[in-house]
Amino acid sequence: MLNFVHGNLYSTALELSRKFTTKNEIRPVLNYVHHTNDGRMEATDSHRAIMFHDIHGFEKDYLVHPKTFNIATGDFPELPKLFENTGYEHVVTLSKEQIMLWLQLFRSINNTLRTMKVGQRTDSNKPVHLHFKQDYVNVTLAGLDVSMKLPASVLKPGFEPIAVNAEFIRDTMEVFSKMETQEIQIRLHGALRPILFEDKGKIEILVLPIRGGYPIEEAEE
């Protein structure tokens, strides 16, 4: 009989976490995925962060490189403090089917922005604006006369628009899709605070909005 150390979706979660690690060597610890002794797994590139709960079986804290699988120890940032959702409002709920649709559309949006070379004025920003309507989220592409209506259960229609990197939203939806999530909540705390995506008690993702750049007014319907 085999007793497995990690949860069923651990290998998938580790692979997905790779996109949330940094690619530079300025802070080498951020090249790794942090495993805590309570089953939590987390990663960040300083622009976004991901946290899985009850996903692994290590009894000590370890750092695992998601590409080489090297294991190390070291001081990792205190991410749980960033995920405290005090002041956040539950603005949007997405079902499993809507998560899949958002993933497909944001893949298309990301490809469009890359083709049009939008966002190359900064390192990797591919800005879109999210406008929260009665029964959908309107996504407008900064600097382009393009908009898309994405199905969603919007609890706070009229919440102020927020600018965000399209690639980050695509990667976020990919996580929830591959981790077989049934429903997620999107929580906001104003246009300049991180966006919190969560599958309660299982997965949490923080994404920083884009500050400055194209005025949101240019993207209005």
Looking at residue 209, its pLDDT comes to 94
Task: Compute the distance between CA of residue 135 and CA of residue 137 in angstroms, rounded to an integer.
Answer: 7
Residue 122: predicted pLDDT: 47
Q: Rounded to an integer, what distance in angstroms lies between the CA atom of residue 105 and that of residue 128? A: 12
Domains, the chain, in order of start with CATH, read: 10-83 (3.10.150.10), 89-219 (3.10.150.10)
Read off the pLDDT of residues 43-92 as tens digits, 9 standing for 90 and up: 999 999 999 999 999 999 999 999 999 999 999 999 998 888 678 999 99
pLDDT over 60 (residue 120): no
**CA distance linking residue 60 with residue 198, whole number of Å:** 26
Burial of residue 22 (CB within 10 Å: 0-12, 13-18, 19+) is middle
pLDDT surpassing 90 at residue 159: yes
**Helix or strand or coil: residue 109?**
helix
At residue 115, φ and ψ (nearest 5 deg) are -65, -40
pLDDT for the residue 56: 94
Burial of 135 (0-12, 13-18, 19+ CB in 10 A): exposed
Residues paired with residue 62 on neighbouring β-strands, in sequence order: 35
What is d(CA 45, CA 158) in angstroms, rounded to the nearest whole number? 31
Yes or no: say if 92 and 185 are a contact pair by the CB < 8 Å rule: yes
Residue 37: how many other CB atoms lie within 10 Å: 11
For residue range 163-219, list pLDDT tens digits in order: 999 999 999 999 999 999 999 999 999 888 999 999 988 999 999 999 754 433 333
Can you read off the two tokens belonging to residue 215? 């005025």
Residue 81 tokens, joined? 């403090």
How many angstroms separate the first and last alpha carbons of the chain? 60
What is the pTM for the complete model shown?
0.90
